[in-house]
Amino acid sequence: MAKIKVMINGIPGDMAATVLRHLILDDRFELIPASLTGPEIKTSRYEGNNRSIRLINKKNRNREIEKIIKQYDCFISADFTLPDAVNENAEFYCKKGLPFVMGTTGGDVQALKNEVKKSAISAILAPNMGKQIVGFQAMLEYAGREFPDLFKGYALEITESHQKNKADTSGTAKALVQYFKRLGVSFSPEQISKVRDPEVQKIRWGVPEQYLDGHAWHMIRLISEDKTVSFEFTIKVNGREMFAKGTLDAIFFLDEKVRQGVTGKIFTMIDVLKIKRPVHNSEP
């Protein structure tokens, strides 16, 4: 089987660089040595993991992407750029006929979905690429569907902690709000508590120092009206490896859909999880 050609956009960002490290060790894929990047990046090349990646800024991307399409024909784009670029990038991929995996949180999700639906491509929208976390979310979704109002009257507390340069509220935390609302809890995404102070994360929460610049912790607590019952869920992810591995499986899934000729459809990581087959895990 021919290797799946992949362009990772958002290099030299930490998440994009982590996906790069895993992808080059996975024999399912061929890396395209170029990356769309933001205006804040002043260098023209990224050197790392024994690879030299040409960085393409917004000013030159239209011209350069045409060259890449001509050279590589069909490929998958994996996007890990900034939240405020989500919709603009999605529109660009749709216009250029480039199927993509969007791993960046933020933006207008409905507008993104509408853009893909009227396009000639399909895409995966996944604010969380961690397969085990997505599986946990699926269990909550099932509970909300089968047992609506199970936690009616309970108070909800959600605190999420990420590296200090993460500007937006956790997409995982926002998704959890929707699941618990279906279970009868009154709560809004604006009530989510964000922790971005490294000192607070290290001293109060106990985040290991080596992961202060790359972690995803979520603390969820449900409390009954009379305060006699509480349920607590804690998700602690140190580093970005879980999300990188999930990204590779998402790319593989989307490539299959491209080969089947599926267009105008948005998939999620739930769709990826439903595939009954062993997946390859890269070990950098």
Question: Within a 13 Å sphere around the CA of 179, how many CA atoms are in the beta-carbon half?
Answer: 19
Q: For residues 78 and 123, what is the distance between their CA atoms, to the nearest angstrom?
A: 10
Q: CB under 8 Å to 266, separation ≥6 — which residues?
A: 112, 113, 116, 117, 122, 123, 124, 125
Residue with tokens 């699926």: 138
Between the two ends of the chain, the Cα-to-Cα distance in Å is: 23
Active-site position among 42, 59, 117, 162: 162
Paired sense of beta strands 76-79 and 4-9, if any: parallel
Backbone φ/ψ region at 10: left (φ over 0), alpha (ψ -120 to 50), beta: left
Inter-helix orientation angle 131-146/171-182, to 10°: 20
Annotated catalytic residue, options 22, 131, 166, 174: 166
166 among known catalytic residues: yes
Reply yes or no on whether 218 is catalytic.
no
- The three-class DSSP label of residue 28 is coil
Distance CA 233, CA 56 (A): 42
How would you class 66 by CB atoms within 10 Å of its CB: exposed for 0-12, middle for 13-18, buried for 19 or more?
exposed
At CA 105, angle to CA 4 and CA 41, rounded to 5? 75
Active site amino acids: 162, 166
